[in-house]
């Protein structure tokens, strides 16, 4: 039986921007190499943390190409292709599959209150457009749609589904999905609940803070696998302490500030996000010294 390669700790990759707000492809390469050196297991490209919906379709394709080239097969690369438009999502998926991404993933279509049948059809249309395996991105807080175990059953019957990126605190559903489909990979999505997700059956995690604190997340993951629950709890405490600081300023903005301090020039988020001011400098330095520098 072939071992499942979809596991471990993946960074939901930040998209670097230059001073003019254009995608900084050189720093994208730098960030990928920086995280590989920190031991990350892979990358989730152009997702929520990557600010996908502030990017053009062409930019999303070019960012993925850049990541794949720098990664050069060393780590997993999952391409987020989700869009409100099925056609755009299919185009992004076709590009990702042809470019060599290990899998594609998609948030459910949003804004309009699509019916369940329409969302099921969206996932099947994307999955059936490409040979690459697909991960459903379940993030009800942002998309307004919550994947259920029954809906997962239906989608799995019609598409090449590899699993779910589960960004929810409904661990009852997570456990049920994994119990019904042990062959699927469930990625935990909320960083502050990494250990809880693993205990409920998740095979790994995809998270924003892993752009900065991936060694800590890896310690949670490996401590759990080794049965060292007390150790995993101590490492999880560090993730949560870091997030407590970040929430004062905005998690994505603080991640960018800390990466700048690490020498990875990711810049500011695009408007309508406002830039983070100097009031965060002291906290960012603390995060750098106490969480980003852990090995």
Cβ atoms of residues 211 and 246 within 8 Å: no
Sign of the CA dihedral with 92 first, then 125, 208, and 251 last: positive
Question: Of the candidates 79, 59, 68, which has an alpha carbon nearest to the alpha carbon of residue 16?
Answer: 59
Among this protein's residues, is 291 annotated catalytic?
Answer: no
State the catalytic residue, choosing from 25, 44, 122, 137.
137
Whole-Å CA distances, 153 to 150, 156, 177, 281, 292: 5, 5, 9, 47, 39
Q: How far apart are CA 32 and CA 63, in angstroms?
A: 11
Among this protein's residues, is 165 annotated catalytic?
Answer: yes
State the catalytic residue, choosing from 165, 210, 221, 253.
165
Whole-Å CA distances, 165 to 104, 125, 248, 264: 11, 18, 26, 27
Sign of the CA dihedral with 89 first, then 12, 64, and 263 last: positive
> Cβ atoms within 10 A of the Cβ of 140, count?
14
Active site residues: 137, 165
């Amino acid at each position: 039986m072939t071992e499942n390669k979809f596991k471990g700790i993946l960074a939901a990759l930040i998209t670097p921007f230059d001073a003019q707000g254009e995608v900084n492809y050189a720093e994208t390469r730098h960030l990928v190499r920086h995280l590989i050196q920190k031991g990350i297991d892979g990358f989730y490209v152009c997702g929520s943390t990557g600010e996908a919906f502030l990017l053009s379709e062409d930019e999303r394709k070019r960012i993925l190409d850049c990541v794949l080239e720098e990664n050069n097969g060393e780590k997993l690369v999952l391409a987020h292709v989700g869009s409100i438009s099925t056609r755009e999502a299919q185009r992004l998926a076709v590009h990702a599959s042809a470019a060599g991404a290990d899998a594609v993933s998609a948030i459910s279509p949003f804004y309009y209150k699509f019916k369940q049948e329409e969302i099921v059809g969206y996932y099947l249309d994307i999955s059936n457009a490409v040979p690459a395996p697909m991960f459903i991105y379940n993030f009800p807080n942002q998309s307004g749609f919550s994947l259920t175990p029954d809906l997962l059953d239906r989608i799995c019957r019609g598409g090449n589904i590899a699993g779910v990126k589960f960004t929810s605190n409904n661990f009852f559903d997570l456990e049920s999905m994994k119990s019904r489909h042990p062959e699927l990979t469930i990625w935990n999505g909320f960083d502050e609940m990494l250990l809880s997700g693993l205990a409920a059956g998740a095979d790994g995690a995809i998270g924003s803070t892993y752009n900065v604190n991936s060694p800590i997340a890896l310690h949670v993951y490996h401590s759990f696998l080794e049965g060292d629950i007390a150790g995993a709890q101590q490492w999880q405490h560090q993730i949560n302490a870091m997030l407590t600081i970040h929430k004062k300023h905005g998690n994505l903005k603080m991640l960018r500030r800390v990466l700048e301090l690490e020498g990875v020039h990711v810049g500011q988020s695009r408007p309508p996000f406002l830039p983070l001011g100097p009031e965060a400098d002291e906290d960012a330095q603390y995060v750098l010294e106490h969480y980003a520098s852990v090995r």
